[in-house]
Amino acid sequence: MSAEEMTPKEVEQFLSCARVGHLGLSLKDGSPYVVPVGYAYTDGKIFFHTCNKGLKMNALRQNANVCFEVDETLSDASMFKSVIVFGKAEIISDKAKMIPYLQKLIDKYRSRKLRRLYEQARKKQRKRITSSENLPNNAKQNHKQKMEMKG
């Protein structure tokens, strides 16, 4: 079976609708690191939300060059499609600038957790930037459990 290139419109549609992407990063020692992320795509930009601490953020702070991949396959893998994007990641720390992106994620996933983050950002945008240390205790515990499961 020959590979067929997707048109720009098909790429836009695919990036807009896919549920999970894979973010490729380079760790401090040069090792590759790929992590699945929920994301949104709009106006030619891919964005995602993550904790302010951890391996992913450390890698992004040290090297903003990233690779982002989205794929879809039939259950028997006889047909698949994928899009791979290379670029530089930008960390947005300003809560006021984050709000439109958080809203796009909420619109895509309709997640209670994302809605709560959006509301927290709106309430605190004029006061100060909130780090992951200021998350409610249950959010810290959930994050810690996830990290322990990853090994």
Beta bridge partners of 36: 22
Cβ contact 80:72 at 8 Å: yes
Model confidence at 113, in pLDDT bands (50, 70, 90)? low
For the stretch 132-140, contacts whose Cβ atoms lie closer than 8 Å and that sit 24 or more positions apart, written own/partner, are 132/51, 132/52, 132/53
Distance CA 59, CA 147 (A): 16
Q: Which of residues 139 and 35 earns the better pLDDT score?
A: 35
**List of domains in the chain:** 8-150 (2.30.110.10)
pLDDT tens-digit readout, 50-102: 877 889 999 999 999 999 999 988 777 677 889 999 999 988 888 888 888 88
Answer yes or no: is pLDDT of 120 > 50: yes
Distance CA 91, CA 58 (A): 11
φ, ψ for residue 30, nearest 5 deg: 90, -5
